[in-house]
Amino acid sequence: MTATIALAGWVLNIMVGLVILTGVLRARRHVPPLAYYHLTTAFVGLGFWIAFMAAGSALLAWIGFGILTLHNAFGDTMMVKGWRRRNPDAPGNAYFQAAKAAARKPLLLAHGFLAPVAWFPALAAAIISS
């Protein structure tokens, strides 16, 4: 059950992420290379996760979870770097400020809220499978 919840959150978040990426591309804005790593790790991790669900292998679960964790780190890094680029002299905690700024945009807010919907059940499923 937890693996299925993780899968659903993962797929929904990829869909939201693709909508965000499409908007950026349509606006002809610069897409940082980190965004492509973020996208690639989403799909590669999903592939391992689907393989885990089909085979029941704990190793595949942990690989998928590890890639998902890397994927989330890429997303957080991209969010903070973008905020720092737009606010180079702003005081305070950059991560917190970047998250507040992202929360003002509905798609980014949904993308951020869906991340733990995939991550925590994936962690639980990987632990249970071990």
pLDDT tens digits, 48-87:
999 999 999 999 999 999 999 999 999 999 999 999 999 9
Q: What is the pLDDT of residue 92?
A: 84
Q: Is the pTM of this model over 0.95?
A: no
Mean pLDDT of 83-97: 89
Find the largest Cα–Cα distance for the chain: 51
Q: What is the mean pLDDT of the chain?
A: 95
Contact by Cβ (8 Å): 46, 10: yes
Mean pLDDT of 103-114: 94
Q: What is the pLDDT of residue 91?
A: 85
Q: What is the pLDDT of residue 90?
A: 85
Note the helical H segments in 56-105.
58-86, 94-103
The radius of gyration of the chain's CA atoms, rounded to the nearest angstrom, is: 16
Mean pLDDT of 32-58: 97
User: pLDDT tens across 19-32, in order?
Assistant: 999 999 999 988 99
Q: Which amino acid appears at position 43 of this protein?
A: F
Distance CA 129, CA 15 (A): 27
* pLDDT(9) > 90: yes
